[in-house]
Amino acid sequence: MSNQHEEHESSHKPPVRKEMSRRQFLTYTLGGATAFMAAGVALPMVRFAVDPILQKKGEGAFVKVVEISKITSEPQEFSFELKQQDGWYLSTANLTAWIRKDESGKIYALSPICKHLGCTIGWNNDKNFPDEYHCPCHGAHYTKQGKQLAVASKPLDEYKVMLKDDWVYLGEIIPNTIVK
Amino acid sequence: MFKNVYNWIDERLDITPIWRDVADHEVPEHVNPAHHFSAFVYCFGGLTFFITVIQILSGMFLTMYYVPDIINAYNSVEYLQTQVAFGQIVRGMHHWGASLVIVMMFLHTLRVFFTGSYKAPREMNWVVGMLIFFVMIGLGLTGYLLPWDNKAYFATKVTLEIANSIPVLGPVLKELLQGGTIVGAETLTRFFAIHVFFLPAVLLILLVGHFIMIRRQGISGPL
């Protein structure tokens, strides 16, 4: 059969066909099938592992912190509790904020986390830096509005503020919007 | 691209001969299901290894969420099973694979027994295989406790009673495995350590021995 076929072929011009060798075909088939099965095993595990970054982030809830009448133009520290669901574990985080109202009566709240390396700043806590926020770790200090004066490269973060029924509510932490 | 990277490494480390040693070997006709379909019985060992690899992989991923602690263990398992994407699949692989590995290993043992492959010169490999069998049973029994639910708790009580029934050494062994006088916090951490670190390490060493021996001695001849 094959001999007849060859004779038949040789009587004409052999057609130019790009043929895949049997070895190549089997290599591709085996490789493809192996890759498919390996992916079937690996993909669920990878999706399982990356789940935390793909989970929908909950809308930052607002927490009731203090009566509006207690806010002065001098920054005051207020602490509040934030309920957070951490996987299977429900916990409360204790947070603090420095809250004041500016000359026009606008209330804003600054985060006490130093923008240098994350220590906790205080208001008026160093006599060399009166009426400033000062960080005891590496001497970063900030103005009332949170503008950085030394060491740190960014102004203090602020909390989202919501005023309702004579109370100040604080939400998620956002970059400072008061100073440029 | 891939070929260039391979060649670059091969020029320096000459890895092709190593690769040949591992992968390039003849499969005799009597163990090739393409020649005699009944030769599929020779696949059970490879299938056992395949499932073992899946067990190791899925187990590694499960520990990303699991905590071996009596307060959080059940909650973390419930969380990973119901809240995490593909959690049911990954835990399912580990759960069903655990049973399947025992089944495959048992079928492999039957094949070796009925083809007489345990006979000289392969007696040592039979012994190593038996040790692997016990390690696998140990992995199954220790893993059973980890979800920390009722079934896990009472199954472990039974397991520990089995250990307790060993003459003379039993009670000491039971207390050692239990990490105290009750099945509790210390039992869970102990079983976790045994399940995740000690037994897998022993298993891998035994498997390497099993594979080196079969490669040295070759597969036993046709019946």
Counts of helices then strands in chain B (DSSP H, E): 10, 0
**Above 0.90 for ipTM, yes or no?**
no
Class of domain A59-174: mainly beta
Inter-chain residue contact B84 with A51, CB threshold 8 Å: yes
Give the model confidence (pLDDT) of A134-161 as tens digits.
999 998 999 988 999 988 989 999 999 9
Among B61, B79, B83, beta carbon nearest to A45 = B61
Which residue type is seen at B79?
A: Y
Domain coordinates in residue numbering, chain A: 2-54, 59-174
Inter-chain residue contact A49 with B64, CB threshold 8 Å: yes
Q: What's the mean per-residue pLDDT of chain A?
A: 87
Give the model confidence (pLDDT) of A58-85 as tens digits.
666 888 889 988 888 899 999 998 888 8
How far away is chain A from the Cα of B80, in angstroms, using its nearest Cα?
A: 9
Buried b (16+ CB within 10 A) or exposed e, A44-57: bbebbbebeeeeee
Residue A81's DSSP bridge partners are A94
Interface test with B, best of A30, A46, A48, A91 (most B CBs within 10 A): A48
Inter-chain residue contact A45 with B75, CB threshold 8 Å: no
Give the model confidence (pLDDT) of B111-139 as tens digits.
999 999 999 999 999 999 999 999 999 99
Reduced to 3 states, what is the DSSP secondary structure of residue A77? strand
Task: For residue B63, give the chain A residue with the closest CA.
Answer: A49
Would you call B135 exposed, middle or buried from its count of C-beta atoms within 10 A (0-12, 13-18, 19+)?
buried
- What tokens appear for B26 in the block? 């003849």
Counts of helices then strands in chain A (DSSP H, E): 3, 10
Inter-chain residue contact B84 with A48, CB threshold 8 Å: yes
